Amino acid sequence: MRRTTALVALAAALTAGTLIAPADAAPRARPQKVLVIGIDGALLSKIQAFDTPALKGLIATGSSSRTTLYAQPFAPTLSGPGWATNATGVWPDKHKVTSNSWGTGTALTRYPDFLTRLARAGRTTYAIADWTPLTTNSAGQAIFSDEVQRKVTYDGDALGWAEADRRIAADASAYLKNTGPDASFVYFGDVDIAGHSCGADGACYRTALEKTDQHVATVLAGVKARSTYAQEDWTVMVTADHGHTPGGGHGGSSAAERSSFLIRTGPGAGTGTPAIAPKNVDIAAIALDRFGVSSPDLDGRVTTPQDPFDSLVNQLQGRLDETGVPADVRGWTHTTPSGWTIDNTGLGTGGVREWQGWSFTTDDFWTRAAPDQSREGNVRARGVFAVADSDEWSDKTRSGLFNSRLTSPAYDVAGASDATLSFSSHYLKSGNETARVTATFDTGATSTLLTYTADTIAKTERLTVPVPAGARSVRITWSLTNGDNDWYWAVDAPALTKG
């Protein structure tokens, strides 16, 4: 699609006039502004490949990363769950939006959108969209509540999606320039419509995405034209609710459908592509943090936490036996982080090499190895996590059972009467396998902290660890034993703190 000379000049000016605060500006020392732009059904790979100077300008001056969503049975890759996740900062098992028609049977009151939380904190807010369930209550409950100070809906079905997007860009540009609410959500829907029409590899998808980039340029021009812009700190985030298959469509579990992204500029955004990708739930957490609004009930994080397993990110290997994983996807290792050990005493012989005992892997690698078996529901793990997978191990000739133990370094518990162990856990139970967490102290005392007897999906565990008198250190062991093609256990972000 051709650009006019004026539009090219505008895009260049936007790129040169970055929306990132000066390096010496202390966070929150100046007026904070947050703008979240939603592009329904957009793929980061297509933004990078197409003629999209406004979005590429944001990428060049901030950070960008592909993010990964869930799949059924946790939730389908549809707009309802996707935008509810982006807006509320919690996963679908909390907000309960699991379709595109949810009525009032959700937990959006308990976990409101970030604009509503900010409105309650006295901040000015604005939301505009052309997918009506985002901003109107015709479905029984809008994702963005009526507590948002100004909500505007241009019905894409009634107006036509291209025209509705055009009106959104004009309204948002003018309102951000002249009124400048503290926090805003601006949504464009035509890319998704094009994806359904001709697929992500189709010409109409490219046309719609490049036109949307022009709308983004219009919105950013309104921000930059503010009379007080130079005195403000602007956080801009761009995201999507799901991806699209090359031939069109979403709702399933393919990597393309589960694909979203986060482009971020402004204070704390960093530059380039983070080694450990953020999550879509982080968007709301970041927005609230810019105004100092506490949100301990969110799944999102302001900064991506680094746990011991993430230290392995540069040691991940490509496939050996997992032929369903693309050859260019590096995502597993048996190398342990410093101080960690794996005991495979009793592990049978043979089997799929990637899963011979506890392994360290990523969502992209593990879920591609065996789609549609609930691995996609491991949403509370980030980056590199640990997996004991007797099911995938058994997909190649083997003998014996799956017996493997993952043990932490020694944690200091000197002088404490108890400690708290936390980790994310995603476990599917089958057969006679046993999943157990134990604690072994330097005194020789051993105690069982947890034994799973049923599925435990995407849970954050917090276990009390009683400390025997005189004990100075403790090691924690995660054991999966007696596995016989009996599903899996994923563990991430282990941490122990003295009570």
Question: Which domain does 422 fall in, by range?
Answer: 308-498
Would you list the DSSP string of 133-161?
GGT--TTSS-SS-TTSSEEEE--HHHH-H
Could you tell me if 193 and 119 lie in one domain?
yes
CATH number, domain of 63, equals: 3.40.720.10
Asked which of 289, 317, 346 is the last residue of a domain, the reply is 289
358 three-state secondary structure: coil
Q: Give the pLDDT score at 104.
A: 84
- Judgement on whether residues 172 and 201 belong to the same structural domain of the protein: yes
Could you give the angle at the alpha carbon of 302 between the alpha carbons of 296 and 306, nearest 5°? 100
Per-residue confidence (pLDDT) for residue 21, from 0 to 100: 33
Give the integer Cα–Cα distance in Å for 11 and 33: 21
Q: Which of 289, 322, 346 is the last residue of a domain?
A: 289
Residue 479 lies in a domain: yes
Is residue 54 domain-resident? yes
DSSP symbol at 317? B
Asked if 227 and 82 sit in the same domain, the reply is: yes
Q: Is the distance from CB of 348 to CB of 449 less than 8 angstroms?
A: no
Q: How far is CA 372 from the centre of its chain?
A: 19
CA–CA distance, 340 with 490 (Å, rounded to integer): 16
**Beta strands in 256-324, from DSSP E residues, in sequence order:** 259-265
**CATH number of the domain to which 452 belongs:** 2.60.120.200
373 and 238 both lie in a single domain:
no
State the pLDDT at residue 137.
77
Q: Which residues contact 161 (CB under 8 A, 6 or more apart)?
A: 130, 189, 190, 193
Asked if residue 132 and residue 228 are part of one domain, the reply reads yes
- Residues 433, 402 share a domain: yes
Is 302 within a domain?
A: no
Residues 246 and 314 in one domain: no
Give SS3 for 79: helix
Q: What gap in Å lies between CA 233 and CA 26, rounded to an integer? A: 10
Question: Residue 204's pLDDT is what?
Answer: 98
Q: Is residue 50 part of a domain?
A: yes
Over its length of 499 residues, how does the chain's per-residue pLDDT go in tens digits?
333 333 333 333 333 333 333 333 334 689 999 999 999 999 999 999 999 999 999 999 999 999 999 999 999 999 999 999 999 999 999 999 999 999 888 999 999 999 999 999 999 999 999 999 999 976 568 999 999 999 999 999 999 999 999 999 999 999 999 999 999 999 999 999 999 999 999 999 999 999 999 999 999 999 999 999 999 999 999 999 999 999 999 999 999 999 999 999 999 999 999 999 999 999 999 999 999 999 899 999 998 878 999 999 999 999 999 999 999 999 999 999 999 999 999 999 999 999 999 999 999 999 999 999 999 999 999 999 999 999 999 999 999 999 999 999 999 999 999 999 999 999 999 999 999 999 999 999 999 999 999 999 999 999 999 999 999 999 999 999 999 999 999 999 999 999 8
What residues have CB less than 8 Å from 6, skipping those under 6 apart? none
Alpha carbon distance 174, 186 (integer Å)? 12
Bridge partners for 265 per DSSP: 236
443 exposed, middle or buried (CB, 10 Å; 0-12, 13-18, 19+)?
Answer: middle
Are 101 and 190 in a shared domain? yes
By three-state DSSP, how is residue 461 classified?
strand
Residue 309 pLDDT: 98
Domain boundary among 257, 289, 321: 289
Strand partners, 497: 420
Report if residue 297 sits inside a domain. Answer: no
Residue 14 confidence (pLDDT)? 31
| pLDDT tens track for 221-242 | 999 999 999 999 999 999 999 9
63 with 274: CB under 8 angstroms?
yes
3 state SS of 363: helix
For residues 454 and 490, membership in a common domain is answered with yes
Question: What Cα–Cα distance (Å) separates residue 320 from each residue in 331, 355, 488?
Answer: 11, 10, 19
For the entire predicted model, the pTM comes to 0.92
The angle that helices 161-178 and 203-224 make with each other, rounded to 10 degrees, is 10
User: Are 265 and 362 contained in the same domain?
Assistant: no
| CA gap 282, 63 in Å, rounded | 14
> In terms of domains, do 246 and 282 share one?
yes
Q: One-letter amino acid identity for 353?
A: R
In a domain, 264, yes or no: yes
* pLDDT (0 to 100) of residue 269: 96
Within-domain flag for 295: no
Asked if residue 313 and residue 265 are part of one domain, the reply reads no
Give a yes or no: residue 429 inside a domain. Answer: yes
Q: Could you give the number of structural domains in the chain?
A: 2
